[in-house]
Amino acid sequence: MNALNRTRRDFLRTLGQGALALALPGMLSAAERPTRKPNVLFIAVDDLRPQLGCYGHEQMISPHIDRLAADGVVFNRAYCQSPVCGASRASLLSGIRATRDRSFNGYLHHADKDWGAPLSLPKHFRNHGYHTISNGKIYHHRDDGAGSWSEPAWGPKGPWAGRGYLVQANQETARARNGLGPAYECAECDDSEYADGKTADKAISDLNRLAKMDRPFFLAVGFMKPHLPFNAPKKYWDLYDARKIELADNPYRPKDAPDAAIHNWGELRAYHEIPEKGPLPEEMARTLIHGYYACTSYIDAQVGRVLGELDRLDLADDTIVVLWGDHGWNLGEHTLWCKHCHFQTSLIAPLIVRIPWLKGGVRTDGLTEFVDLYPSLCELAGLPVPDHIEGRSFVPLVKEPDRAWKEAVHSRFHSGDSVRTDRYCYTEWTGKDGKMYARMLYDQKLDPDENVNISERPENAQLVKELSERLHQFRAGYVY
């Protein structure tokens, strides 16, 4: 690593974690480490916001993930590095952040051409004797992360058409519209007739093979739902009373929010019968929220099947389990659907970790970033942390969830950069000339739903200046 890259890495660690975090001693004592290398069950869920019982949403039916949370650590404020699937996953799996020059919008295999491929998380484990397997959606594209897997990356195949339609009429619509039929489907079918059920089947089969191996495993299981379209077996739709589905409390644009903060949710607009502009009819909005809930419960059931097999094979005591969503999702908040924005609804995602030899049933409000997952798993598995890593192990938070921790975390999307401190979230959008053209500031203590942008209020001028300087310093840490 050249001197300039080393400067950038050290700067980022100092800025992102604070001096206190850097001063911490070794996190795991010899007595706290397992006697053998632990397995890793690495569960990714696409477009999953913290819409789960364990995150306080009592209307949700997510018993299996809730049980995992009860035995593990729940990170209440885990931030993705970019609110879009490919970039978020590339960042998490590489341990490095997105920047304007390293945006990951082309995802990892394209970014490699520009600045060289980093050592991926699964490849690092493979290099240290782990048998690594990828099932379903882990990277955005299955050919990303070359050399990461001991076996070819696997994806489900089935009789569905387009983006997973089983109902004949929906299949015909999807074929006529480049795969995009209705935004939801409610089919009378078994779990394994949809793709995610097949992914759970494959993971269960793999666990039975891996249990007989004489080396540890890193099993990555990537579920697609609740990504659009909201297709799930009818029995999961039936878990929820459609009459009791509640719309977002704040379906309006935040007061004084800049135009840059709001998008037209083109991802959803592309589906059949979704209006090209304007808000959704109330009945349609309720149906989509219902579909999102159904898909979340469907995935919860698949997670439960995989965890049940882990228990049946007596592997749970030797296996770290990680469950993460790649970013949040909007369900009508601030006029928005989908992700692709700098509101907390898109930037915060679930992160739950179960470590068999450490105390579970723990929650932490410590600010956490997805780039922290790579070094954390290295520490837990007793592996060295590669020199390129830009996050920091969150193991101290597992042991002391209320301790002082990071001063700030950062996310970026297109021309916008966000910094989140303990109380405030500040975002700036800058042009290619480096000049700021829009900004917003929210007080998370007084306005947790981000309904009033206070960046232009005179009494906040000094605060805005300080947060802006922090963002400029943060960007400067990436100069090549």
Do 60 and 52 meet the contact criterion of CB atoms below 8 Å apart?
yes
Q: Rounded distance, CA 5 to CA 443, Å?
A: 34
Cα 141 to Cα 111: distance, rounded to the nearest angstrom:
13
Which of the following is catalytic: 54, 85, 295, 378? Answer: 85
Catalytic residue among 140, 290, 340, 342: 140
Helix 282-312 and helix 195-210, axial crossing angle in degrees, nearest 10: 10
Give the Cα separation of 446 and 192 in Å (integer): 45
Do residues 183 and 290 touch, judged by C-beta distance below 8 A?
no
Length of the chain: 480
Chain-centroid distance, C-alpha 373: 11
Q: How far is CA 221 from CA 136, 216, 424, in A?
A: 6, 16, 34
Please, what sign has the CA dihedral across residues 429, 434, 437, 443? positive
Q: Do 275 and 335 contact (CB within 8 A), yes or no?
A: no
Which residue do the tokens 């009818």 mark? Answer: 234
List the Cα angle 421/426/427 in 5-degree steps.
Answer: 135
Q: Are 291 and 237 in contact (CB under 8 A)?
A: yes
Orientation angle between helical segments 461-476 and 3-22, nearest 10 degrees:
130
Clarify whether 85 is annotated catalytic: yes
Residue 287 three-state SS: helix
- 338 included as an active-site residue: no
Residues that are catalytic: 85, 140
